[in-house]
Amino acid sequence: MTAITSAISRAAISCMLLLTLSHVAAADDDKAKLDNLKRAISSLEKQLGQRDKEKNTLATELKKVEVDAANISKNIRRVTQQINGHVATLQNLDVQQHDLRKNIKQQNAAISEHIAASYKLGNQESIKLLLNQEDPQKLARVFKYYSYFIDARNEKIAAYTADVEKLAVLSTEVSQQKEQLDSAKEQLLDNQQKLLAASKTRAATLQKLTVSLQNDRGKLDKLLKERRELEELLATVERASRNMQMLTPAGKQSFASRKGSLRWPINGKVAHSYGSQRSGTMRWEGLLINAKMGEPVAAVHDGQVIFSNYMRGFGLLIILNHGDGFMTLYAHNQELIKDTGDWVLSNETIARAGDTGGMDQAAVYFEIRQKGQPTDPKAWLGKR
């Protein structure tokens, strides 16, 4: 029986080791595939960047200023959060200080009396009680009451002292928080000035770009080139991520099963619908949805970020892989919250709406791809 039990134990341990090794191997494989995806994207970005550099285009200038502005906006958001944190901390410290000062004020008179009485009697206090009492039983009771009184008095003095010390510590902390708050406000002001300068530069560059594309042919050529580069990018990420495991989490629905009920990436009026004319023979292959600058952009379904960067004509672009050949695209963002390789859940904020990519107002361009081909998002999105 012992031999059988021992054999079963060895078999169980072997199974556990195999499972552990398989999980490690799978994790290493996923990392290798993700690294391969990043290398493929990086290589394509370098190729596209080299093309822009060779032609010294206004679009390249626009990209630079928009990326700079996006970084500044991110800093502004970060510093603003720091300021809000410092303000909340200071408010909490103010409440604590107020309560402590109130307690100390209420205790002042009683503590003064305790200290004065203790000073007057000194170490002779218990002897005086002994000399003033003749009845032993009464004397025992008096000593008992006396010890209670002394303990209570010492506790009050200790509590008072602790409150005074705590108030001193709080005062120091308040001073430090105020210094940090002032520093954060200076950073915020500096970033706001930088953003204003970047916005002016962007407006001037965009004006030049608009003038250079006054005729319809120029606009169409630009749009066709941007669309070709997007298709090239999508083909690259599709090839690189083809074998990346995209399992539907337990209890979750697949992308295909949610047709007609996907949440919208953002609330806003649809400015251009799928299939409507864009320029010449070119049609919109997704939805352009009006938005407020900085408004959160949400993932329409669970997925993995397979691209998170700037793309000419689309600005700050984020692409999600949902498995089974489905991808979603979110373009013209002010800020990208998620990075390539990140896993996101439905309704999770992945970006903030903006006007990058040469837009004249904040909007989000949204596409759904099924096996590389664009499909009408309205057939997939639920009612609002």
What is the per-residue pLDDT across 109-168, written as a single tens digit (0 to 9) for each? 666 665 566 555 554 455 454 445 544 555 455 445 556 556 666 676 777 677 777 777
pLDDT on residue 64:
81
At 235, the pLDDT band (50, 70, 90 cuts) reads confident
Q: Check if the beta carbon of residue 68 is closer than 8 Å to that of residue 197.
A: no
Q: How far apart are CA 380 and CA 384, in angstroms?
A: 12
Residues whose CB is less than 8 angstroms from the CB of residue 335 and which lie 6 or more positions away in sequence, other chains included = 70, 73, 74, 77, 294, 316, 351, 352, 354
Query: Residue 358: left if φ>0, alpha if ψ -120 to 50, beta else—which one?
Result: left
For 64-116, how does the pLDDT look when each residue is reduced to its tens digit (9 = 90+)? 888 888 888 888 888 888 888 888 888 887 888 787 777 777 776 666 665 56
Q: How far apart are CA 348 and CA 338, in angstroms?
A: 10
- DSSP state, 248? P
Q: How far apart are CA 384 and CA 378, in angstroms?
A: 11
Which of the residue ranges 40-49, 244-253, 290-299, 365-374 would you say has the lowest mean pLDDT? Answer: 244-253
Element holding 277 (H helix, E strand) = strand 277-279
For 310-366, how does the pLDDT look when each residue is reduced to its tens digit (9 = 90+)? 988 899 999 999 988 899 999 999 999 999 889 999 999 999 999 998 888 999 999
* Higher local confidence (pLDDT), 20 or 221: 221
Q: How far apart are CA 230 and CA 340, in angstroms?
A: 17
Residues whose CB is less than 8 angstroms from the CB of residue 359 and which lie 6 or more positions away in sequence, other chains included = 315, 332
pLDDT on residue 355:
92
pLDDT on residue 300:
96
* Higher local confidence (pLDDT), 346 or 173: 346
For 29-69, how does the pLDDT look when each residue is reduced to its tens digit (9 = 90+)? 666 766 766 676 666 666 666 655 544 477 777 788 888 88
Which of the residue ranges 208-212, 228-232, 372-376 would you say has the lowest mean pLDDT? Answer: 208-212
pLDDT above 60 for 367 = yes
At 222, the pLDDT band (50, 70, 90 cuts) reads confident
Q: How far apart are CA 10 and CA 368, in angstroms?
A: 51
Q: How far apart are CA 266 and CA 291, in angstroms?
A: 7
Q: How far apart are CA 318 and CA 331, in angstroms?
A: 7
- CA 341 and chain centroid, separation: 16
Q: Check if the beta carbon of residue 369 is closer than 8 Å to that of residue 326.
A: yes
pLDDT on residue 366:
97
Which of 290, 256, 253, 257 lies closest to 271, judged by CA? 290
Residue type, 324: D
Q: Check if the beta carbon of residue 353 is closer than 8 Å to that of residue 297.
A: yes
Which of the residue ranges 13-17, 221-225, 360-364, 375-379 would you say has the lowest mean pLDDT? Answer: 13-17
Which of 204, 287, 255, 262 lies closest to 371, judged by CA? 255
Structure tokens at 312: 């000419």
> Can you tell me which residue has the tokens 């996907």?
262
pLDDT on residue 336:
94
φ, ψ for residue 126, nearest 5 deg: -70, -35
* Higher local confidence (pLDDT), 239 or 381: 381
In Å, what is the CA distance from 345 to each residue of 266, 302, 320? 15, 4, 11
pTM: 0.64
Q: How far apart are CA 380 and CA 373, in angstroms?
A: 14
The mean pLDDT of 238-260, rounded to a whole number, is 72
The mean pLDDT of 256-272, rounded to a whole number, is 94
* Higher local confidence (pLDDT), 10 or 296: 296
Q: How far apart are CA 264 and CA 384, in angstroms?
A: 8
In Å, what is the CA distance from 116 to each residue of 71, 91, 122, 230, 367? 64, 37, 10, 85, 81
At 263, the pLDDT band (50, 70, 90 cuts) reads very high
